[in-house]
Structures are given as structure tokens and as C-alpha cells.
Amino acid sequence: MQEFEFIRHIHRHCEELPANGFEGIGDDCAVLELGDEALVFTADALMEGVHFLRHTTSPRELGHKALAVNLSDVAAMGVRPVAVMLSISLPRDLDEGWAEAFIKGFTALAKQHQVALIGGDTTRSEQGIALSVTAIGRGPRTSLKRRREAHVGDTLLVTAPLGASAAGLRELLQGHLNHPLAAQHRTPQPEIEVGMWLGLRPEVHAMMDLSDGLASDICHIAEESHVGFDLDLATIPVAEGATREDAICGGEDYKLLLTANSDSAAQLCRDFEARFARPLYPIGHISSHEMRWHEKGVAVATPTPYFHHF
Amino acid sequence: MQEFEFIRHIHRHCEELPANGFEGIGDDCAVLELGDEALVFTADALMEGVHFLRHTTSPRELGHKALAVNLSDVAAMGVRPVAVMLSISLPRDLDEGWAEAFIKGFTALAKQHQVALIGGDTTRSEQGIALSVTAIGRGPRTSLKRRREAHVGDTLLVTAPLGASAAGLRELLQGHLNHPLAAQHRTPQPEIEVGMWLGLRPEVHAMMDLSDGLASDICHIAEESHVGFDLDLATIPVAEGATREDAICGGEDYKLLLTANSDSAAQLCRDFEARFARPLYPIGHISSHEMRWHEKGVAVATPTPYFHHF
């Protein structure tokens, strides 16, 4: 059975359930608005052999990554991650050093971003390590950025050069475990301060994090906002050591993709650079219907996303 | 490595993290108070081969149970479960019927208690089914019941006869899959309406759900409240078909254990019976220090909890 078939079952049965004030499936996080405030919620599972291999990822790096991917979802909503829950299932053959190193990696990133660890579950696993992390974010209701808020005419932007993670995965699979790009794949840095800063800017309309790859993720903004886009391949910033294909088709960069009012985009870019000492990158525009890819003005075929898990 | 050693690592590293307004580890749920309201959060993992066996639990029953155990944690805090997230990792060899039946069991219970399904994750698993459920509860701040609020002199009570789940597990392991007690083990009914009703009663002080068994769980109330108790084995209500030992030492009943002001306990029991058409059961008292078990006035040894997972 395919994952998407299962998701279809879930959607069909979910429709019979109440919303209870939550905005559910369809964005990086579920949202609960409470007066002037909003809380957001996200959960991710990481399975050994599917999302990571024990011999190519150290436990400390895995602890970092398990948290990073969830914090990234919260950052993509424009608010601060405040708390996480960790459920972890460990096989008997794992030595104690592994678990302690995992927790060190997890809590080091939590400490860096001042996130509370408020609960979870620890159990035994018959085979393989299973991880599940739930993250909670909190912020002003007006800061929330959703995938469905892109407007026709908006400028499309990304917050950093892309492709380092896909290039790093290639190095890993070739056995170059200590390659600097491999480290970027194993320990992504979520754009938390950047996400919160963009949350406070009213000219930013839609936002999401890049986890499956630009070619794939941009379609979610288009679908949820009922819009199209014009995107020029030549304007996409490529991370050092990555190919342009990595930047467009590779996943797990955990940088942010956003749309902003085009009248304000130039000022937004200047303010971003003044605040973060690095550029914000315009890569195209939101249009009314079609999803169109160009290269220096010439239409090209839609890029095919990599299959980026093991 | 033992589970509790890992939890020790987590606790040590957690101490360096901020609380961000959350009350974390130490109760059935983490708590976030927001003005007159409170939100509560809990997460549980269920692993094939550890928490369930595929050949003794139908997918529909497993969907029910995965949700029930989390709703029970919310009910134990005295508030209403309002939303859940489901992360599910499925092996390739699983047929589509399994997944659909699982979701039917999950959503049937969600519908019964009007709980929203707001997100989660679906992934592949290399070996075995892995489930993780996060539940969110919401209610008046004054309804919250914590483990640490037991007072010396309080009456100890349970909300239903105990032991059916342990007796049902014994039937299951003997191959009696269709025994009525086996069904009670596989599809526990969380005490949601009961928990919310008790949450509104100010004479109820401490509360928790019975998941590991009375002999084990009662120690959490004693430790968190810095109190002891006197408990008479003969007063513990035993479910039909269960032994007294099942009721005291068996796990997974998902009934509620609470303490209440002893001056109001008799009235509480009358009002409970008027509301739910079944009794509330006094089983002992909170004392200042020791945890003491009696049988008709004679001191007996502390009962040893069953090891209740597969």
C-alpha cells in the first residue's frame, strides 16, 4: 500500500470529525487561535532504515535532526517553537551510550532555541529505532503564515541557497561520511529566527519549509492558494558544492519558501539582509493559474523531484 | 539498556531547558495555563511485538486502543480531549484493508468523543508497525486535577471495578481470542465523561488513570504529593471474571484513581451514582508517610505489579 492511499483513507474518515476550533491537515502545522494568540502543532516520525541508517548517522546527529525537522515546521508558520514531546522506541541491542548521545544532540538544539521538553514516551522496540516528535509553537495570531495565502502578483522568495542536503546525501551514499556537505544533510539548521522575523512582516503572505524539495513543495503553495507561478531556474540560489538539480529537486534543506507583496519585496530583501547579514532570494512570481518553469525566458519541463529517502 | 535509565538521561538533560510556561514531565499530561483556560498534552507510542501482536489484535481494535490510551490520559487531568495527531509507520507487506480498518477504529472512537484529528505523519517502516499518538485537552483551569494534589486525610477512590484487562490478556495469551474479557483488554473505554465531571468537583484533589495497575500507579500519587496511604485489599472492586490479584496488580484498565476531601466523599459518591448510574468506590485513605496495604485490618506485603506488556 502506498502512503498516499493511506492518507486518502484518513482524509475521508476525518471529514466526519469536528474541528473543535483547530485548523487541521493542509499546512506545516495545525493551528489553534486563542484570542490574540495562536498555538501551532506538528508531529513527525523518523524510522530506522527509512529516514536514517544507524551506520551513517551518529546518535547525536540523529537527536539534532529529529528535533530540527519539527522546529522547521513551526518556523514555517511564522511563530516561535516553545515545547516538544519525544516518543522513542529502542531495540534491546542498543548500548546506553547511543541513547545518551541521542539525547545530548536533541537537547543541545532545544537549548539553542530555548525549547522546553514537556513529555513523550520511551518504549522498547522489537526491531529498529522508531522516533516521533511533536512540536508546539506560540506567537501573535497576526504572525501566522499559511500556505493558502499566496496572492497573484506576489514575489516568490527563498531564505537561503538550496541543494546542500541532497548533495550531502549523495556523498553519504558514496561512503564519504565526513564530507562537510554530508554534515549539512545530517544536521540541518532550521530557520527559526528567520521564520519569526518574517512572521512579523505583513507583506509576507504564504510561507512553508522546504522539506521535500522546491519542485515538489512549491506545488503545495500553488494548490492551497489556488494560484500558479512563473519560476526561472537560473535565479534559484545553489548552495556551494551542490548542483542546480540538487537545489531544485533535492529535499531536506529546511530553508523557507515564501511569497510577499511584490511592491514591498525589494524593501523586505534589504531589511532581511540588514538583520541577518545574508540575502533573501527572489526566484519568481505567483500567477493566476499555470505552474510554469523557465530558463532565461524559455519554457522548460517541470523538474522531477528526487526520491530523497533511503 | 533499561527504559528507566534512558528516562534518567532525559531528565538530567531536560533540567537545562526552559519551561516556557509549561508544566512538563510528572503527570498524565503536560499543562499550559492560558488565562482562565488550560491546555494539556500527552503522547504515547505503541510498537508491534511490544505493545500488541498483529495476530491477536484486529486493526480496528488497535485503532481504537491507540486513541483510547491517550484520551484516558487527558480524562485523568479533568478536562475534555479536543484534538489528536497520529503518526503511523507501516511495513510494505501490510495490505490496504489493514490500514483502512485501523483508521475506522481510530476515527470511530474519535467521533464518539467528538475529538478532531488535526495532523500527524504517515511513513514506511522497515519492520513492524509503529504508532505514536499525541492528544490535546482543553478545559477551565480550575478543573485541572494533578497527581501532586493529594492531601493527608483524603479518601482514595476508583471509578470502576478493576482487573478486566489483565484477565482478558490472560485469555488472549491462552488463545481465547473471542473471550469477552479479551475484548475488554483490546478495546478499553476511557473515562472521558467521568473525568470531566470529576474535574468540575472541587472536593476532588488528585487524579490519574490506571494504566500500569493500581499497585504501581498509586505510588505516583503518593510520591508526587509527598504522602502515604492506607489501602484495604478487601475494598478494591474486582471486575467480573477477574481475580483480586488482577484488580490490584494488572495494568491497562484505564479507569480513574482519585483522592477527595473525606468530608465530601460520601456526597461525591451519591452524586456520581446519580449522574452515571454506577458506583464510585472508596478504597482507602491518604496518610502522612507510609504506603500501607491491609487486608481486613491486618497489614500485608506490598503487592507486586504484573509485567503487563507482551
Beta-carbon separation of B47 and A96 below 8 A? no
> CB-based contact (8 Å) between B245 and chain A?
no
Read off the pLDDT of each residue in B126-130 and give the average, rounded to a whole number.
93
> CB-based contact (8 Å) between A96 and chain B?
yes
Sorting pLDDT into bands at 50, 70 and 90, what band is B291? very high
**pLDDT at position B307, please?**
56
**pLDDT at position A289, please?**
83
**pLDDT at position A2, please?**
60
Beta-carbon separation of A13 and B51 below 8 A? no
**pLDDT at position A5, please?**
73
**pLDDT at position A137, please?**
98
In chain B, residues under CATH classification 3.30.1330.10 are 17-143
Q: Using only C-alpha atoms, what is the Rg of chain B?
A: 19
**pLDDT at position A15, please?**
80
**pLDDT at position B155, please?**
98
Percent of chain B with pLDDT over 90: 83
Q: Cα torsion at B260, B262, B267, B269 (round to 10°)?
A: 60
**pLDDT at position A8, please?**
77
Instruction: Tell me which residue in B5, B118, B127 faces A41 most closely, judged by beta carbons.
Output: B118
The cell for A129 is 529505532
**pLDDT at position A307, please?**
56
Instruction: Tell me which residue in A3, A37, A117 faces B124 most closely, judged by beta carbons.
Output: A3
pLDDT in tens, chain A (310 residues): 566 677 777 888 878 899 999 998 789 999 999 999 999 999 999 999 999 988 888 999 999 999 999 999 999 999 999 999 999 999 998 887 899 999 999 999 999 999 999 999 999 999 899 999 999 999 999 999 999 999 999 999 999 999 999 999 999 889 998 999 999 999 999 999 999 999 999 999 999 999 999 999 999 999 999 999 999 999 999 999 999 999 999 999 999 999 999 999 999 999 999 999 999 999 999 999 899 999 988 999 888 887 544 4
* Partners of A40 in the β-ladder: A31, A137
> CB-based contact (8 Å) between A115 and chain B?
yes
Q: Could you give the ipTM of this predicted complex?
A: 0.93
**pLDDT at position B125, please?**
94
In chain A, residues under CATH classification 3.30.1330.10 are 3-143
**pLDDT at position B24, please?**
82
> CB-based contact (8 Å) between B113 and chain A?
no
> CB-based contact (8 Å) between A116 and chain B?
yes
What CATH architecture is A3-143?
2-Layer Sandwich (3.30)
In chain A, residues under CATH classification 3.90.650.10 are 147-300
- What angle, rounded to 10 degrees, do the helices at A192-199 and A265-276 form? 140
> How close, in Å, is residue A91 to chain B by CA atoms?
9
Q: Compute φ and ψ for B131, nearest 5 degrees.
A: -125, 145
The model's pTM is: 0.94
**pLDDT at position B296, please?**
86
**pLDDT at position B101, please?**
94
**pLDDT at position B309, please?**
46
pLDDT at B2 over 80: no
Number of A–B residue contacts, CB under 8 Å: 246
Which pLDDT tens digit goes with each residue over B193-228? 999 999 999 999 999 999 999 999 999 999 999 999
Residues 133-172 on B with a CB inside 8 Å of A are 134, 136
Which pLDDT tens digit goes with each residue over B19-45? 999 998 789 999 999 999 999 999 999
**pLDDT at position A96, please?**
76
> How close, in Å, is residue B188 to chain A by CA atoms?
20
Read off the pLDDT of each residue in B32-60 and give the average, rounded to a whole number.
94
> CB-based contact (8 Å) between B125 and chain A?
yes
**pLDDT at position B3, please?**
65
pLDDT at B98 over 70: yes
Beta-carbon separation of B87 and A37 below 8 A? no
- The chain B residue lying nearest A134, using CA atoms, is B134
Please determine, looking at this structure, whether the domain spanning A147-300 carries the CATH number 3.90.650.10.
yes
Runs of H (alpha helix) within chain B: 3-14, 59-75, 96-112, 164-173, 180-186, 192-199, 214-225, 244-249, 265-276
Beta-carbon separation of A117 and B14 below 8 A? yes
Q: On the CB side of B283, how many CA atoms lie within 13 Å of its CA?
A: 28
Please measure the distance between the N-terminal and C-terminal CA atoms of chain B and give it in whole angstroms. 18
pLDDT at B306 over 80: no
Q: Using only C-alpha atoms, what is the Rg of chain A?
A: 19
The span from the CA of A162 to the CA of A212, in Å, is: 12
**pLDDT at position B310, please?**
40
Please determine, looking at this structure, whether the domain spanning B17-143 carries the CATH number 3.30.1330.10.
yes
Percent of chain B with pLDDT over 70: 97
Instruction: Tell me which residue in B49, B88, B118 faces A30 most closely, judged by beta carbons.
Output: B118
Please report, for residues A75, A266, A268, B126, B226, the alpha-carbon distance to residue A261 in angstroms, rounded to integers and kept in the order given.
20, 10, 9, 45, 58
> CB-based contact (8 Å) between A37 and chain B?
yes
Sorting pLDDT into bands at 50, 70 and 90, what band is B308? very low
Contacts of B63 (CB under 8 A, 6+ apart): B101, B102, B103, B104, B105, B106, B107, B108, B109
pLDDT at B160 over 50: yes
